[in-house]
Amino acid sequence: MSAPSLEIADLSIAFGHGRARVQAVDRASFSVAPGDAFGIIGESGSGKSTILRAVTGLLDDYEGGVLIDGQMAPRPRARAFFKTVQMVFQDPYGSLHPRRMIRATLMEPLEIYRLDRRDDRIAQVLVDVGLAPEYAYRYPHQLSGGQRQRVAVARALLLEPRILLLDEPTSALDVSVQAGVLNVLNALRRARGLTYVMVSHDLRVIAHMCSRIAVMTQGRIVEEMSVEDLRAQRAQEQYTRTLIAASRAAVTAE
């Protein structure tokens, strides 16, 4: 077995103090093999996004370890870290600057990291996410929600990371356009051998995308299972069974 690409070891994160203290993540551990897609599922407020924010270093007041290729991620994250790990956020409106042309948004990481052939890279990455290169010359409001999220994926890919963290990447989209974005993500992972950690409250999305799944509630990972176990409803924990039952019709309809 090769070393895991990403490992979370006994990760704990709390917000606030005294009576206002919230234990958002409570000793969470998992590891993801290179090229795998790992899903985190759980109800709203269970701590899913907080885990991803800790991995990227957006939150660096955490206990426990975040390891990339067996190495402890530095705190604060060094610039080189983001050449390996990138994150895509839920809200494609919030994550793109409204008055900035797509080309300028995509140019920014290339400039910061001093990469060459910038226009070529932008044209290619747009094609890779299923958009024509001309989309570089549009503004966010001239794109649909699905197209905006493809741009957010393109931006994350520009530095050619090996690990993508996907926080509800299609939750803000109409069901009719979700599949297109998810299929692009699946194709990219296969073509580039990317490692994904994807967060969703939607079991169908996780079942479509991931091979292993962690089930979270109230900051804790209560169960880890394969997608085969999920589909066959082989859950150990009552919480997982309830979650599956709530969306069973949808999952078995896949």
Ligand X SMILES: Nc1ncnc2c1ncn2[C@@H]1O[C@H](COP(=O)(O)OP(=O)(O)O)[C@@H](O)[C@H]1O
Task: List contacts with Mg ion (CB under 5 A).
Answer: 49
Residue closer to ligand X by CB (options 44, 176) is 44
Interface with ligand X, residue 15, by CB under 6 A: yes
Interface with ligand X, residue 14, by CB under 6 A: no
Residue closer to ligand X by CB (options 49, 147) is 49
CB 90 to Mg ion: min, Å:
7
CB 49 to Mg ion: min, Å:
3
Segment near ligand X (CB under 6 A), from 43-51, 76-84, 116-124, 204-212?
Answer: 43-51
Residue closer to ligand X by CB (options 24, 163) is 24
Interface with ligand X, residue 93, by CB under 6 A: no
| Count of residues near ligand X by CB under 6 A | 12
| Sheet strands side by side (includes 22-32) | 22-32, 6-15, 63-68, 71-72
Residue 50, amino acid: T
- Tell me the CA distances in angstroms from 18 to 15, 21, 47, 127, 165, one per residue in order: 10, 5, 19, 51, 32
Interface with ligand X, residue 24, by CB under 6 A: yes
154-157 CB contacts, 8 Å cutoff, 24+ apart: 154/106, 154/125, 154/126, 154/128, 154/129, 155/105, 155/106, 155/109, 156/86, 156/87, 156/88, 157/86, 157/125, 157/128, 157/129, 157/188
Segment near ligand X (CB under 6 A), from 38-46, 143-151, 179-187, 244-252?
Answer: 38-46
Interface with ligand X, residue 217, by CB under 6 A: no
Phi, psi of 233 (to 5 degrees): 60, 40
Instruction: Spell out, one character per residue from 46 to 85, where the chain touches ligand X: x when CB under 6 A holds, - when not.
Output: xxxxx-----------------------------------
Near ligand X by CB under 6 A: residue from 27, 31, 35, 45: 45
Residue closer to ligand X by CB (options 40, 123) is 40
Q: Which two tokens stand for residue 151?
A: 């741009």
Q: For residues 154 and 127, is the Cβ–Cβ distance under 8 A?
A: no
CB 75 to ligand X: min, Å:
18
CB 120 to ligand X: min, Å:
37
67 binds, among Mg ion, ligand X, none (CB under 5 to 8 A by kind): none
Residues that bind ligand X (CB under 6 A): 15-16, 22, 24, 42, 44-50
